[in-house]
């Protein structure tokens, strides 16, 4: 019999009323894929990604090798057929294999390469853990490695270079010997090699240290402070206004009081809320953010409080709410000023009683949370108008932190812009390393009505259009290129002639180089304008 003749109905024997069952003469069990997904999630949550991958890869390797040994003993014809391994994978419901190619003896080609579809590991990883940064078919590559290693009589390692679990269109694996892989195998060997318990935990400690170093590096990049500055998590605080905010935030983090963070949209309120959480005793617990303005009242209630099965149409199962999910940690209620009066009453009860009741249930559940709320509204005015409950306002506003808009912290603009430049360049695969002087000056001139969020978008725009290694004035968005110097921004006393020149040239850019319109806007004669422009050109300012 060859692999093409394999049929699940002939290989699987069982009693219809239950009990033991056998697959190709070996005892088998039916196991729910979701349960395996939960096992994976538990392993990752308890031991970390590296240790979980090692365990599941070696489990798959042992399974593959034992399968090959059994085949050789019981079904030698099937063992000789190179397609048997992939066929067994498919019959057992693990994955669908297509284009299983074998090497024709070319040393530069892999011994085996396959395209995999409908991997159960991809399905379960996405279901329980979401999109991954690395390949996730760990037991499957382990099985293939163990099976082919026994089949060939030498160690063969399968590596998955494309995986649907990390966003690729298809899963693709290659199998090579250690010599064929060379140095490319080194990062993957720990997942295959058997280790003692001490070695496992040593490797775990090493992986944790490396992760901590990467996090520290990212925090340093995000802070982007000068040598004389300080680092506050991922917040740039070169300006005195922002330093005061951060210093207040660090003091707040030591206590467990409720906080309201106020400020304009895009100013960085959520970042302050996260800093409160990260510097608090709750940092090891969840930080759950809810945008109250993005959901209707009905959806918001279900999201916050959860619901019981059958509570309303479509509630086909019990669901934990976000308040419960934040137990032990911090609940961040963004845009709290958008919440309706009836929802305000329910939130007040949670804050007072520290308990939550799911929609459709009669019992209450105790919760231990710290609440940080944020709004771009003046809640005091909203209370006076009757739009926001006074009791809830004072319950939330034990401490208030005001995040200044970007126009009030001019010193933070360029450090933030450089952070966003580095991030956007990395995402786009570009090598844009900085700004030209003209572009940097224009960033400082603009008033930034959209605050930090607008700055981030402007920098991403510049990276997309940049043709050189430095973003220039012409790469910035149109409204930014034509911005006039801001009134009131005085970093140092400068000659009036210099200030006048900058303003006239900025006005000229804003009118699209229309000199007649520029003169009219500046309320000066056209001849006067031409004379001044001629002087600027002689001085080298019109290049």
Instruction: Please give the Cα distance from 29 to 490 (Å, whole number).
Output: 76
pLDDT at 461: 94
Q: What pLDDT, on a 0 to 100 scale, did the predictor assign at position 264?
A: 92
CA separation for the pair 282, 203 (Å, rounded)? 28
Estimate the crossing angle of helix 413-428 against helix 197-223, to 10 degrees.
130
State the Cα–Cα distance between residues 531 and 540, nearest whole angstrom. 14
Ranges in the chain, pLDDT < 50: 196-198, 217, 220-231, 488-491
pLDDT of 88: 83
pLDDT of residue 156: 92
Q: Is 537 exposed, middle or buried (0-12, 13-18, 19+ CB in 10 A)?
A: exposed
The helix/strand/coil state of 455 is helix
Cα dist. 526→140, 267, 510, 536 in Å? 77, 41, 16, 15
Q: What is the pLDDT of residue 223?
A: 44
Question: What's the chain's average pLDDT?
Answer: 83
Three-state DSSP class for residue 102:
strand
pLDDT at 134: 92
Rounded alpha-carbon distances, angstroms, from residue 372 to 335, 396, 398 = 11, 8, 10
For the chain, the first-to-last Cα distance in angstroms comes to 82
Distance separating alpha carbons of residues 309 and 356, to the nearest angstrom: 16
Please identify which residue in the block is written with the tokens 């949550």: 45
Which pLDDT value is given to residue 248? 93
Residue 27's contacts (CB-CB under 8 Å, 6 or more residues apart) are: 20, 21
SS3 readout for 360-403: CCCCCEECCCEEEEEECCCHHHHHHHCCCCHHHHHHHCCEEEEC
Confidence at residue 103, expressed as pLDDT on a 0 to 100 scale: 60
Judged on CB neighbours under 10 Å (0-12, 13-18, 19+), 30 is exposed
Provide the pairing of β-strand 21-23 with 12-14.
antiparallel
Residues 6+ apart with CB under 8 A from 38: 128
pLDDT at 259: 95
From the CB of residue 478, how many other CB atoms can be counted at a distance below 10 Å? 8
215 membership: H or E segment, kind and range: helix 197-223
pTM: 0.53
Complete edge-to-edge strand list for the sheet that includes strand 96-102 = 96-102, 112-117, 171-177, 156-162
Report the alpha-carbon distance of residue 300 to residue 322 in Å, rounded: 10
């Amino acid at each position: 019999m060859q692999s093409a003749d394999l049929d699940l109905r002939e290989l699987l024997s069982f009693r219809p009323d239950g009990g033991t069952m056998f697959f190709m003469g070996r005892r088998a069990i039916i196991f729910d894929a979701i349960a395996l997904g939960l096992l994976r999630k538990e392993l990752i949550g308890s031991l970390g990604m590296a240790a979980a991958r090692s365990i599941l890869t070696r489990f798959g390797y042992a399974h593959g090798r034992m399968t090959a040994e059994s085949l050789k003993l019981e079904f030698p014809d099937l063992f000789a057929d190179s397609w048997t391994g992939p066929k067994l994978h498919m019959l057992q419901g693990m994955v669908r294999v297509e284009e299983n190619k074998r090497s024709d003896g070319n040393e530069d080609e892999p011994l085996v390469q396959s395209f995999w579809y409908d991997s159960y590991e991809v399905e379960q990883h996405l279901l329980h853990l979401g999109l991954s940064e690395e390949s996730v078919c760990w037991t499957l590559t382990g099985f293939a490695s163990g099976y082919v290693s026994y089949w060939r009589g030498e160690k063969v390692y399968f590596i998955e270079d494309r995986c649907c679990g990390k966003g690729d269109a298809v899963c693709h694996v290659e199998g090579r010997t250690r010599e064929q892989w060379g140095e490319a195998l080194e990062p993957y060997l720990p997942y295959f090699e058997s280790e003692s318990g001490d070695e496992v935990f040593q490797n775990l400690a090493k992986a944790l240290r490396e992760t901590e170093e990467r996090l520290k590096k990212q925090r340093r990049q995000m802070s982007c402070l000068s040598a004389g500055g300080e680092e506050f998590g991922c917040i740039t605080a070169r300006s005195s206004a922002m330093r005061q905010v951060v210093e207040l935030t660090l003091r707040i983090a030591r206590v467990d009081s409720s906080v309201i963070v106020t400020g304009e949209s895009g100013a960085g309120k959520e970042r302050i809320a996260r800093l409160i959480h990260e510097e608090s005793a709750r940092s090891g617990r969840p930080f759950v953010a809810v945008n109250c303005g993005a959901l209707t009242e009905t959806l918001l209630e279900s999201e916050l409080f959860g619901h019981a099965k059958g509570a309303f149409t479509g509630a086909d199962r019990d669901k934990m709410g976000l308040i419960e999910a934040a137990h032990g940690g911090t609940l961040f209620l963004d845009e709290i000023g958008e919440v309706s009066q009836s929802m305000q009453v329910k939130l007040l009860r949670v804050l007072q009683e520290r308990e939550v009741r799911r929609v459709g249930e009669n019992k209450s559940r105790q919760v231990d949370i710290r609440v940080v709320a944020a709004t771009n509204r003046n809640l005091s005015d909203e209370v006076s108008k009757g739009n926001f409950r006074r009791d809830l306002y004072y319950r939330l506003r034990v401490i208030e932190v005001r995040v200044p808009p970007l126009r009030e912290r001019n010193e933070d603009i360029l450090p933030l812009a450089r952070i966003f430049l580095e991030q956007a360049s990395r995402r786009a695969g570009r090598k844009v390393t900085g700004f030209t002087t003209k572009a940097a000056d224009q960033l400082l001139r603009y008033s930034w009505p959209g605050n930090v969020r607008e700055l981030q978008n402007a920098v991403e725009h510049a990276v997309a259009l940049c043709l050189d290694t430095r973003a220039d004035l012409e790469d910035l968005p149109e409204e930014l290129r034509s911005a006039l110097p801001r009134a009131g921004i005085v970093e140092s006393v400068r000659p009036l002639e210099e200030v006048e020149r900058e303003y006239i040239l900025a006005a000229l850019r804003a009118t699209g180089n229309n000199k007649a319109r520029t003169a009219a806007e500046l309320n000066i004669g056209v001849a006067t304008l031409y004379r001044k422009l001629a002087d600027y050109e002689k001085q080298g300012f019109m290049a």
